[in-house]
Each structure stands twice: as C-alpha cells, then as structure tokens.
Amino acid sequence: MDRIVANVLLMLLGNNQCHSFLKALFGTLRHFIVTFQEPLFKHTTPYCGDITFELLRYCNSPSSEIRSQAAALMYLLIKTNYLAAGNFSRMKLQATIGVNSLEREGIAKASTRFEASLSAVAEFAKTDTEMPPDFSEQLTELTERLFTVLRDSIKISQFAYDPERTADLYYQVSKGYTASPDLRASWLATLSRFHSEVR
C-alpha cells in the first residue's frame, strides 16, 4: 500500500473541506478502498481504523449530501472487508472504537443524523443482490450494536465527574461484549487508559 497516499487522504479527510472538494475526495477514497483492500483488511495497519473513524465523523455531517456519501462509503468499506476477509470481525472492532472515539471527542451526541446514516448503511445491504442473505442480517446487527455503543459512551460521559462510577460503567459495558472478545478487550483497554489518566 502506498502509505504516502493513505496519509494524505487521511490528512485531507481530517480537515474541513468545501463540498465540491470533499465529493472529489470521497471519489478518490472509494478507488483507494477497492484498490488496496488486501493491505487494508488483511495486514496490520492503522488505516482501516483511521478511515472508519473519518467516515463515521462525516456520517454526522449537517449536510444531507455529505452524510449520504459517507454512509455509501462506509457500506463499501464494510462490504469490501467482508469480501476480502470473509467476516465482519475487523470492521466490528474498528467501528466500535470509532463510535466510542466520536463520543469522547464530542462529535456525536446521540445525533439523529448519525443514527439515520447508520440505518442507511444497513439499508444498502438489503438491496445489494451481490451479497449473501446473511450479510444484510449481520450488517443490521452491527449498526444496532453501534447505536448501543453510542448510548453507552454517552452514559459514561455523563458521569465524567465521578471516576469510580465511570470506571464501573466501563466495566459493566465490557461485560455486555462477552460473546465478542475483541470488542470486550477494546472496552477493557479504554478502562485501563482511564485508570492511568485519573491517577
């Protein structure tokens, strides 16, 4: 993978851009995802997580056009991951981390815009005849899980003034992911970072 191209794309995505430039940037990102799917999803690089975070951020954009394009790209990212790896594991983890990060940074506060974008991602799968029937079911389950992550993250942030309560909530949320070890590990890692910060 051309790391320079990936870093430039992420730098541009991370800055505020005018709509016309952002549309062109999304087109470039679409090509990048399809062209570099093997290194994105099968190698250990940070780019899958970074791209996921940026797309989730744009899924909360005030612009309906930008939200629609971001949701379409998010679907392409998930679909390409599924085709390359044969499962949702990596995207489940990266999307969960991404939603948690959005809330921590104050970007997604139970936004109806954000939830509508995630619902749109699930709707794309229902009309995609190239994918197996269980793909749509798994994607719907993933978007519902992301709604739950957002609500849990918001609940945790509401008790930011109480370190003991916050730590307990992190632990309680992690127990809800017993069936998904990677996701539980992600929440426990967040709990560990929290303990380090409040010392």
Please tell me which of 38-42, 119-123, 129-133 the model is most confident about, judged by mean pLDDT: 119-123
- Higher-confidence residue of 101 and 2: namely 101
Angstrom distances, CA of residue 149 to CA of 61, 115, 170, 184: 19, 12, 11, 12
Predicted local distance difference test score (pLDDT) of residue 26: 95
Confidence of residue 75 (pLDDT cuts 50, 70, 90): very high
In tens, the pLDDT along 77-102 reads: 999 988 888 887 788 888 888 887 77
DSSP label at residue 88: S
Considering the domain architecture, whether residues 122 and 189 belong to the same structural domain is answered as no
Counted domains in the chain? 2
Which structural domain range is residue 198 located in? Answer: 159-199
Considering the domain architecture, whether residues 113 and 174 belong to the same structural domain is answered as no
Does 160 have pLDDT greater than 70? yes
First to last CA, the chain: 40
Considering the domain architecture, whether residues 175 and 114 belong to the same structural domain is answered as no
SS (H, E, C) 120-133: HHHHHHHCCCCCCH
Angle at which helices 47-58 and 3-14 cross, to 10°: 20
Segment holding 10, helix H or strand E: helix 3-14
- As a whole number of angstroms, the distance between CA 192 and CA 110 comes to 25
Considering the domain architecture, whether residues 121 and 186 belong to the same structural domain is answered as no
**Where does the chain show beta strands of DSSP type E?**
none
Considering the domain architecture, whether residues 128 and 198 belong to the same structural domain is answered as no
Give the predicted TM-score (pTM) of the model. Answer: 0.83
Considering the domain architecture, whether residues 153 and 184 belong to the same structural domain is answered as no
Considering the domain architecture, whether residues 85 and 177 belong to the same structural domain is answered as no
Computed over every residue of the chain, the mean pLDDT equals: 84
